[in-house]
Structure 1
């Protein structure tokens, strides 16, 4: 269970860092730039801890898939990025893929 807590921390850190990229304005603003660097450092550290017990392919699929979905949601709410129907379909496929990997695949560690 601890490995999934590390995974959640890695995902949240990466989402915060990626979301701060827009606000950093090309690393010209100090506070958002610091958030980007610290967030990615934390994300990779906690992702590395998950790799002690979760296969790298599974860990990366979950990390990147959920990161994409969360960053898209944050961009929609905070930055006014709109999704069309196909955007929602694509996000739905990402969520479905992560769910299948974790709930049905024998490649995942439970």
Structure 2
């Protein structure tokens, strides 16, 4: 169940961050409400996930997944630049998460 909580936290964080961009600096009411609601629910589910999942592992998965998906959303929907440095940096974030997960397995 804790992995479902973590997955829910990630999805809500992605939604909230996307709505923050759409809120135009919190000048649009509905996206602003969605941003705050999404983050509140995100942190709630993340706190439930932390009851059973190691903090470092949960945070690494949450952060890396959020960064990767938000970067893709930025590129696809908000026409943000795709650079070699951005792609390589995201690659290293993902590799770092894999490393954190392997470390909990005793490698």
Give me the TM-score of the superposition, normalised by structure 2.
Answer: 0.91
| Equivalence for 1:46 | 45
Matched, 1:105 2:103: yes
Instruction: Give the number of aligned pairs.
Output: 106
User: CA separation in 1, counterparts of 2:15 and 2:104?
Assistant: 31
User: CA separation in 2, counterparts of 1:25 and 1:18?
Assistant: 12
Alignment of 1:65-80 (within 5 A): 65-80=64-79
| Equivalence for 2:22 | 23
Structure 2: 5+ residue runs without aligned partners?
Answer: none
Taking only aligned residues, the RMSD between alpha carbons, in angstroms, comes to 1.5
Q: Which runs of 4+ in 1 moved over 3 A?
A: none
Structure 1: 5+ residue runs without aligned partners?
Answer: none
User: CA separation in 1, counterparts of 2:25 and 2:86?
Assistant: 26
Superposed CA offset, 1:19-49 (max 9, x none): 1111111111111111101110111000000
